[in-house]
Amino acid sequence: MSAAAQSDAPIYERLIRERGDVAADARRTAEATWREVSRAVDFRLPYATATHDVRPR
């Protein structure tokens, strides 16, 4: 649902009609980028680092 459909502000709705819903477009682009990056990069920590203190003593 676009921001214009949720708004009671006629000025905002007019801007959406004239310029497009930039916030919704940015959100969709960010979500698509996150999905693409998630497939390419493993963000999980290695098991040993996540469960043990590996700092030198």
Average pLDDT over residues 11-29: 92
Distance in angstroms (rounded) separating the CA atoms of residues 35 and 42: 12
- The tokens of 28 are what? 């969709």
Average pLDDT in the chain: 78
CA dist 9 and 12 (Å) reads 5
Q: Which helix (H) or strand (E) holds 28?
A: helix 22-40
Asked if the model's pLDDT at residue 1 lies above 70, the reply is: no
Residues in Cβ contact with 48 at an 8 Å cutoff, skipping those fewer than 6 apart: 54
Contact 38, 17 (CB under 8 A): no
Is pTM beyond 0.75 here?
Answer: no
